[in-house]
Amino acid sequence: MAENEDMSNSSSNSSNSSSREDMHFFEGVEKLLEIWFEPNPSNKGADLRKIPRPMWEALLKTVRCEIISFTRNEQIDAYVLR
Protein backbone atom coordinates (compact mmCIF):
# COMPACT_ATOMS: atom_id res chain seq x y z
CA MET A 1 0.00 0.00 0.00
CA ALA A 2 2.82 2.41 0.81
CA GLU A 3 4.28 1.72 -2.61
CA ASN A 4 1.05 2.88 -4.29
CA GLU A 5 1.00 5.96 -2.09
CA ASP A 6 4.59 6.74 -3.05
CA MET A 7 3.74 6.34 -6.74
CA SER A 8 0.76 8.68 -6.56
CA ASN A 9 2.68 11.26 -4.54
CA SER A 10 5.59 11.26 -6.97
CA SER A 11 3.47 11.37 -10.13
CA SER A 12 3.71 15.15 -10.14
CA ASN A 13 7.47 14.87 -10.47
CA SER A 14 8.19 15.14 -14.20
CA SER A 15 11.16 12.77 -14.12
CA ASN A 16 9.07 10.00 -12.55
CA SER A 17 5.75 10.52 -14.32
CA SER A 18 6.96 9.63 -17.81
CA SER A 19 8.41 6.30 -16.66
CA ARG A 20 5.16 5.37 -14.87
CA GLU A 21 2.62 6.43 -17.49
CA ASP A 22 2.17 2.88 -18.80
CA MET A 23 1.65 1.34 -15.33
CA HIS A 24 -1.88 0.54 -14.16
CA PHE A 25 -2.98 0.98 -10.57
CA PHE A 26 -6.26 0.33 -8.81
CA GLU A 27 -7.56 3.23 -6.76
CA GLY A 28 -10.41 3.50 -4.33
CA VAL A 29 -11.27 3.11 -0.69
CA GLU A 30 -8.49 1.06 0.81
CA LYS A 31 -8.49 -1.27 3.78
CA LEU A 32 -5.70 -3.49 4.99
CA LEU A 33 -6.05 -7.26 4.91
CA GLU A 34 -3.05 -9.22 6.13
CA ILE A 35 -2.71 -12.94 5.55
CA TRP A 36 0.34 -14.54 7.11
CA PHE A 37 1.95 -17.66 5.69
CA GLU A 38 4.63 -19.81 7.28
CA PRO A 39 7.41 -21.50 5.34
CA ASN A 40 7.13 -25.23 4.94
CA PRO A 41 10.55 -26.85 4.40
CA SER A 42 8.94 -29.93 2.86
CA ASN A 43 7.31 -27.86 0.09
CA LYS A 44 10.20 -26.35 -1.89
CA GLY A 45 7.96 -25.37 -4.85
CA ALA A 46 5.61 -23.24 -2.75
CA ASP A 47 4.20 -20.26 -4.64
CA LEU A 48 1.24 -18.09 -3.62
CA ARG A 49 0.22 -17.86 -7.28
CA LYS A 50 -0.50 -21.61 -7.22
CA ILE A 51 -3.30 -21.22 -4.66
CA PRO A 52 -6.55 -21.91 -6.55
CA ARG A 53 -9.09 -19.10 -6.74
CA PRO A 54 -11.78 -21.09 -4.83
CA MET A 55 -9.40 -21.28 -1.86
CA TRP A 56 -8.85 -17.49 -1.96
CA GLU A 57 -12.61 -16.96 -2.20
CA ALA A 58 -13.26 -19.21 0.81
CA LEU A 59 -10.62 -17.39 2.84
CA LEU A 60 -11.98 -13.97 1.88
CA LYS A 61 -15.53 -15.05 2.67
CA THR A 62 -14.54 -15.45 6.34
CA VAL A 63 -13.90 -11.68 6.47
CA ARG A 64 -16.97 -10.81 4.36
CA CYS A 65 -14.89 -9.88 1.33
CA GLU A 66 -15.03 -10.90 -2.33
CA ILE A 67 -12.92 -10.61 -5.47
CA ILE A 68 -14.50 -8.18 -7.93
CA SER A 69 -11.60 -7.90 -10.38
CA PHE A 70 -8.43 -9.83 -11.17
CA THR A 71 -5.49 -9.27 -13.47
CA ARG A 72 -2.17 -11.07 -13.90
CA ASN A 73 1.14 -10.59 -15.64
CA GLU A 74 4.53 -12.28 -15.45
CA GLN A 75 5.42 -10.63 -12.13
CA ILE A 76 2.19 -10.17 -10.17
CA ASP A 77 -1.40 -11.21 -9.60
CA ALA A 78 -3.57 -8.23 -8.63
CA TYR A 79 -6.98 -8.48 -7.00
CA VAL A 80 -9.56 -5.78 -6.36
CA LEU A 81 -11.64 -6.74 -3.35
CA ARG A 82 -14.96 -5.56 -2.02
* pTM above threshold 0.85: no
Which position has the higher pLDDT, 24 or 74? 74
Domains of the chain: 48-81 (3.30.360.50)
Half-sphere exposure of 79 (CA within 13 A, CB side): 12
Q: What is the pLDDT of residue 71?
A: 92
Instruction: Kindly state the average pLDDT of the residues 56-76.
Output: 91
The enclosing H or E element of 30 equals none
Query: Which amino acid is present at 25?
Result: F
pLDDT for residue 10: 40
**Would the pLDDT of 7 be above 60?**
no
SS3 for 66?
A: coil
Stretch 22-45: mean pLDDT: 75
